[in-house]
Amino acid sequence: MYIGDYLGRRAIYSPDKLAIVDTGKEPEWRLTYRQMNERANRFASWLRSAGVGKGDRVAIFARDGVEHLDCFFACSKLGAIHTALNWRLHWREAQAIVQNTTPKVLIFSDDFKDGVAELKTAITNYKLPILNCLHIEGNGISGSRHFESTLQSSDASPVTCESLEAEDIAALIFTGGTTGLPKAAQVSHRMIAWNTLNTVIHDVAHDDIYLNVFPMFHTGGLFVYTLPQVIFGGTTILLREFKGAKILEIIEREKVTIFGGVPTMYQMLTQAENWATADLSSLRFCTSGGAPLPVPLVEKYTAEKDVRFKQGFGMTEFGPGLFALAPEDAIRKAGSIGRPNFFVDARIVDEANRPLGPNEIGELVLKGPSYSSGYFNNPDSSAAVVDAEGWFHTGDLAKYDEERYFYIVDRKKDMFLSGGENVYPVEIEKALYQHPAVHMCAVIGVPDAKWGEVGKAIVVLKPGTHATEEEMLKFLTERLAKYKVPRSVVFVDALPISSAGKISKRELKERYSKQ
């Protein structure tokens, strides 16, 4: 066994323990660690026969399912690089990523076969070496192989890469890519180990059952708990797509102990038709990240379901386990991402890179062994985000208080200047969530001839409630300085949600900045 043979080790320690439940299959698949290891060996054998070796990329363009893990663990055995593509991308966007990463194999689910056919034709014209395509279900495209048939017909003998080292790359995880080509963070086996240690220090146990609802092309889907669960020997449940009622039913049926999501997901669960009757008593805790969790939402879960929330903060380039806020601080330190995890160093610095003191707003910078190995095929961007002292610059504006609890004030790119004053949308959104009719909201800066930029609030109301723009603005005027109060409020039925489950402010800015 070598460093990348995660399942080979787990198959020795707990071969008959339930590893994965794939609820997207009909009937559901329930696979032990022995079975998962055999699947990984079989797929690794086939990949090797298809010419995939150490350092080669294997891409997957598919909704969540066990095939993502088959691919990841097979690549780890070979020393190859798992490359999960965002299935929300148009095939032309995916083409640019494929041209940059040059995978030798592309796995896809039936939902995206038309785009994959177009992609393969375009890539062939560029003479790039995608030699093999595998379809997960359906009939695939011309020349593609059926994934499961290919896996089952391959040799199950153990596969390992004897030359694999901790610094070798295990996966490419893509950043949001709000402008230009998304950058591919290089996740090394070293980064995986340190992220797991940061995660398990915060109360993960050997017998935990985790329900994953994050897309597996995202750091949240693959690395928040899924991989630490495998290393620790727990059970992970996979969901093909986010459906509130089904999630609540699975938590109750499978006695899920850990659940993670972003605030928008938790808001959506409360609107599911079975929310009132769902039994969530098996949950030891829920984890929330990506944005501050509104206090009314914490109170609702606590009062109605007795759920304890852990909140935190992570990022693609540094791993998901960066900061943690304990459940007992959820109200007392509302809006905080908590304190740095054990093996993470954090600072707040000014524009001159000088450390700032408590309650001073500056950029959050990080250092520690869970940092990625830069961006794939992009040395300039890799160098640009790390300063001379080795601190990674996050692009987040933040502060910390006298007790060393950190707060994200806003993204640098989301902050706007109104009449020369810095305005932080997160602060306004926090105030909006105090209104009893607000279900979800977002605030953006839009151009203004007099002030440069002014705020616009986009609000989704709770079912059965009513509010006016005048009422909302009055509500905010009573809670915020005048220059922070948005100039307008619009009510919508839904907000655009990104692939990570967060509100997409980029789409909102595109929609409203020219109005």
- What are the structural domains, with CATH classification, of the chain? 6-14+33-187 (3.40.50.980), 242-411 (3.40.50.12780), 416-512 (3.30.300.30)
Cβ-proximal residues to 1 (8 Å cutoff; 6+ apart), any chain: 8, 9, 12, 160
At 272, give phi and psi (nearest 5°): -65, 150
Owner of token pair 């030699």: 131
pLDDT 10s per residue in the chain (515 long)? 578 999 999 999 999 999 999 999 999 999 999 999 999 999 999 999 999 999 999 999 999 999 999 999 999 999 999 999 988 888 888 888 998 999 999 999 999 999 999 998 888 776 666 669 999 999 999 999 999 999 999 999 999 999 999 999 999 999 864 445 789 999 999 999 998 888 887 778 889 999 999 999 988 899 889 999 998 999 999 999 899 999 999 999 999 999 999 888 998 999 999 999 999 999 999 998 877 788 889 899 999 999 999 888 888 898 887 899 888 898 899 888 999 998 999 999 998 999 999 999 999 999 999 999 999 999 999 999 999 999 999 988 899 999 999 998 877 778 787 876 778 888 899 899 999 999 999 999 998 877 878 999 999 999 999 999 999 999 999 998 888 999 999 999 999 987 667 788 888 988 997 76
Residues 6+ apart with CB under 8 A from 388: none
Q: What is the pTM of this model?
A: 0.84
Q: Say which DSSP state 262 is in.
A: -
Q: Which amino acid is at 440?
A: M
Our CA angle for 222, 98, 369, nearest 5°, is 40
Classified as helix, coil or strand, 404 is coil
Six-digit token string for 2: 């070598």
CB 199 within 8 A of CB 219: no
Q: In terms of C-beta density within 10 A (0-12 exposed, 13-18 middle, 19 or more buried), how is residue 20 classed?
A: buried
Q: What is the dihedral of CA 222, 226, 231, 232, to 10 degrees?
A: 160
Can you say whether the dihedral through the CA atoms of 467, 468, 469, 471 is positive or negative? negative
What size, in residues, is the chain? 515
Burial of 207 (0-12, 13-18, 19+ CB in 10 A): exposed
Give, as one character, the DSSP assignment of residue 391.
Answer: P
